[in-house]
Structure 1
Amino acid sequence: MTHNNLAKSLRTIRKSKGISQEDFGLISSRTYVSSLERKLKSPTLSKVDELAAVLGVHPLTLLAGAYLQAFEATSVSELLGIVAREAKEINRVDLVKPTARKPEGVLIDK
């Protein structure tokens, strides 16, 4: 993913929610948000969390908007399907929490 796609995703979500660049004032300056949207800077994952909170969306929504363009997926559902398949394949390395279940032969005290 290039920061170009993230810039577009940020701007699109911000405008659709009626949020101004100044509304990010508690976490970032207007000039920083502007520099993100103009593709001059790239945010850290921590900053993506903060930006998403101001936007009122899950951080993955912001990232999905960017990766949707980068992967040329036709829909968010298709992109999430790719993620789900990959997560299932690597579930063995504990990237995804396994479903909680009682191991056979183990008694659980209440």
Structure 2
Amino acid sequence: MSELERGLKCPTLDKIEELASTMGIHPVTLLVECFKLRDETDTKKIFDRVSQELASLKDS
């Protein structure tokens, strides 16, 4: 875990899912929290962007 926190390792999707499961949360919740901290942005902005991008993918 400390290697992930220090940026020495990049987790696979399976590892993210495993970590989230251990924490009792959805993997997307873990990813959102990581991006929120890294980019110093709020959750609403992240979800607004994701929502727009998902709508765009649906229209493609």
Q: Which has the higher contact order (CA 8 A, sep 6+)?
A: 1
User: TM-score, structure 1 length as denominator?
Assistant: 0.48
Number of equivalenced pairs: 60
Say if 2:16 is the partner of 1:48: yes
- Counterpart of 1:83 in structure 2 is 50
2:33, 2:59 → 1: CA distance? 28
Report the secondary structure of 1:90's partner residue.
helix
Question: How much identity, in percent, do the aligned residues show?
Answer: 37
Q: List alignment gaps of at least 5 residues for structure 2.
A: none
Report the secondary structure of 2:52's partner residue.
helix
- RMSD (Å) for aligned C-alpha atoms: 1.6
User: TM-score, structure 2 length as denominator?
Assistant: 0.81
1:47, 1:92 → 2: CA distance? 31
Assess, with a 3 A threshold, how the Cα gap between structure 1 residues 90 and 71 changes in structure 2: closer, same or farther: farther
Structure with the higher helix share, 1 or 2: 2
Q: Where in structure 1 do 4 or more consecutive aligned residues deviate above 3 Å?
A: 69-72
